[in-house]
Structure 1
Amino acid sequence: MQGKVRWCGDLTFLGTSDSGHQVVMDGNSGGKAPSPMEMVLLSTASCSSVDVVNILEKARQAVNGCEVEIKAQRADSVPAVFTAIHLHFIVSGANVGESHVERAVKLSAEKYCSVSIMLGHSVEISHSYEVKSS
């Protein structure tokens, strides 16, 4: 896997992934685009969401929505690394089984989500979930 990041002026950068997709990042407190640290949080939640949705679909659950609310804490001093990240999944669908969601979140956290598992070596990561009928 490869990629590149190009400075665009001020503290704005354009990242290009190996697959050719691009994303703008802003090192100036996220004034123009997400900051790199915000991108880490979004990457963690989206990686885990891919797993959860995929696992639920394979279990033939009628999922029609999945959101993740992310809360994180950072160290007070430089480097201001994440010290804790909490991912709260809100899964909606018709008759989606709570036990299926619990299992999907657990499998993602412990086995499949590369981003979360990688960060978990230095950050306390926790998960919760709720199921909404729709």
Structure 2
Amino acid sequence: MKARVKWTENAAFVAESGSGHALVVDGPPEIGGRNLGPRPMELVLMGVGACSAVDVTLILKKSRQAVDDCWVELEADRAETEPKVFTAIRMHFVVVGQNLAENHVKRAVELSAEKYCSASIMLGRGGVSISHSYEIRQSA
């Protein structure tokens, strides 16, 4: 895997993935940023959420669950002092579908947390406390 992050101005950078996608990363105004994009640590948090959400939806589809929507809401705590690493991440999955089996949803979240989501497993091994919860909503 490769990536490139190039400075554009002030606290703004363009991050380019090896797969050819790009996004602007920027800092807050107090360090010279113009708020043009997410902060680097926000990207880390979003990456963890995306990694796990992909797992959960794929596992549920393989289990033949009728998933219509899925998202994960994330909250993170950071250390008070530098380096302000994540100390805790709370992940709450919302899975929407027709007659979803709770045991399948629970198992999908567990498998992502324990076996498949390399991002959350890596952070967990680095000392970040990561918790997972879920709710199931019936499609309209």
Equivalent position of 1:123 in the other structure: 128
Equivalent position of 1:97 in the other structure: 101
For 1:95 and 1:26, the matched residues in 2 are separated by 42
Q: How does 1:53-64 map to 2 (within 5 A)?
A: 53-64=57-68
State the shift of 1:88 in Å: 0.1
| Amino acid of the structure 1 residue aligned with 2:82 | V
Equivalent position of 2:138 in the other structure: 133
Equivalent position of 2:54 in the other structure: 50
TM-score normalised to structure 1 length = 0.97
Q: Which runs of 4+ in 1 moved over 3 A?
A: none
For 1:79 and 1:32, the matched residues in 2 are separated by 24
Q: How does 1:1-134 map to 2 (within 5 A)?
A: 1-28=1-28, 31-121=35-125, 122-134=127-139
Structure 2 unmatched runs, 5+:
none
CA deviation string 1:94-116 (max 9, x = no partner):
00111101000000000000100
State the shift of 1:27 in Å: 2.5
- Taking only the aligned residue pairs, the percentage that are identical comes to 55
For 1:125 and 1:102, the matched residues in 2 are separated by 16
Name the SS for the 1:120 alignment partner. helix
The answer to whether the Cα contact below 8 Å between 1:48 and 1:108 also exists between their aligned partners in 2 is yes
Structure 1 unmatched runs, 5+:
none
Taking only aligned residues, the RMSD between alpha carbons, in angstroms, comes to 1.1
CA deviation string 1:22-76 (max 9, x = no partner):
1111122782211000000000000000000000000000001001110110000
